[in-house]
Amino acid sequence: MTAVDARPETTTELRFPAGFRWGTATAAYQIEGAATEDGRTPSIWDTFCRTPGKVRNGDSGDIAADHYHRMREDIALMKQLGVTDYRFSVAWPRVQPTGRGPAVQKGLDFYRRLTDELLEAGIRPVATLYHWDLPQELEDAGGWPQRETARRFGDYAGIMADALGDRVATWTTLNEPWCAAFLGYGSGVHAPGRTSASASLRAAHYFNLAHGLAAQVLHTALPSTSEISLTLNLHAVRPLTDSAADLDAARRIDAVGNRIFLDPVFHGRIPEDLVRDTAAVTDWAFVQDGDLEVISTPIDSLGINYYSPTVVGSGSSDSPSPWAGAEEHVRFLPAPGPRTAMDWPVDADGLYELLTRLRDDLPGVPLVITENGAAYDDYADPSGEVHDPERVEYLRAHLSAVHRAIGAGADVRGYFLWSLLDNFEWAYGYSKRFGIVHVDFATQRRTFKDSARWYGDVIARGGLTG
């Protein structure tokens, strides 16, 4: 492929370590479509999309990028890019429609075919068990604020391990449980759309428990060479000033945004300051004896999703807020610099800050960037080309930050670009495009953007020019 570069070449070569994993990532509900085929039943996102006013333009994932029917075409694109790894998620209601009982074989067969096609193309499959599509029947029974949902998730992990454990070497239990717990049950801007601070904290704990139960099942069912992981959207939190009030605001967000997952999973404890911060919301009585032992089941790596930093100061937030226990003490401020189509600031230093923090806080834990990318207002020009120089610069800056962190001692093993395809972007519907492959949703035609060619060149060279 021909490199696409928005600035002059330099002589500085940023080479990544041998064996570095170059990947791209997607999520089932965002790309698969086929929402009612082969036994699949509604997830909470199917229901949320049909609730008036929840999703822009009333969009849904009913068809999405039609990956369910175009999977081989999409794998051919990955092979052309030269990726070594592909991170996909399994739709829980496609393989276990009610969240209970036996699997639907047609659903499992899709993921068997996907895995086989990836291996045939020389691409390493990386399976994520949960990317937000809870079977609606489990939500009707109480959803993630209920302990039973965590137990059901452990059973589902066993089903998938039995089906794909001989072919999939890397397994991620959960993707971004912070979003699923606090946007889904706290602020209500994501499915299932509930607005309860106490429910969001219970959900966060039961996500942690679900992760631990799944990790135990996977350790038992998979070959010893398999890699078990968890992906978190950790927040690079910056106080506005060094004042005591602003520093405390940053501490509160770090507690409910980061340490609510990191401390139980890696240290077997609930942060004491988080318990104090949220005392008016819950007494944490839902944490039972033995929970933290399960949650801290050892894993092999930590996935990190990063898009932009979080700047905070003392003050108060709008209600309903996803930040349980912090609403009356924290205000969020815009970071300086350019912004993406999501109105997110572009700041690669935040990624470097996260990686070096984890280097210090979690020594010996390998790290993988499981999502990083940007949405821009992409379009095909009259010749059919899609030029996205802003995305190229975004990716260049963030890969440079990863390289710098590796040089500073962070054990980063791979980078998965979000996303392979333009897709259904949750509450934004189809209005935001994150893909390096443009999708014309009317025709489902796929077109490499300039960023795809650029990324393919980076992979081929094993690095980039600084």
Q: Are 114 and 164 spatial neighbours (Cβ–Cβ below 8 Å)?
A: no
The yes-or-no answer on residue 371 being catalytic is yes
The yes-or-no answer on residue 327 being catalytic is no
Q: Are 132 and 175 spatial neighbours (Cβ–Cβ below 8 Å)?
A: yes
Helix, strand or coil, per DSSP, at residue 43: strand
Considering 32, 227, 371, 425, which one is annotated as catalytic? 371
What whole-number distance in Å separates Cα of residue 404 and Cα of residue 408? Answer: 6
Q: Are 193 and 137 spatial neighbours (Cβ–Cβ below 8 Å)?
A: no
Q: Where are the beta strands (DSSP E) in 202-254?
A: 227-232, 237-239
Considering 32, 117, 176, 327, which one is annotated as catalytic? 176
What whole-number distance in Å separates Cα of residue 416 and Cα of residue 147? Answer: 32
Comparing CA positions, the residue from 146, 143, 178, 172 lying closest to residue 160 is 172
Q: What dihedral angle (degrees, nearest 10) is formed by the CA atoms of 465, 380, 436, 341?
A: 90
Per DSSP, 56 falls in state: G
Beta bridge partners of 314: 330
Comparing CA positions, the residue from 251, 248, 250, 296 lying closest to residue 270 is 296
Helix, strand or coil, per DSSP, at residue 211: helix
What whole-number distance in Å separates Cα of residue 457 and Cα of residue 459? Answer: 5
What whole-number distance in Å separates Cα of residue 324 and Cα of residue 331? Answer: 13
What are the tokens at 460? 């081929």
> Radius of gyration of the chain from Cα atoms?
21
What whole-number distance in Å separates Cα of residue 373 and Cα of residue 419? Answer: 7
Q: Are 91 and 33 spatial neighbours (Cβ–Cβ below 8 Å)?
A: no
Beta bridge partners of 232: 304
Q: Which residues are catalytic?
A: 176, 371
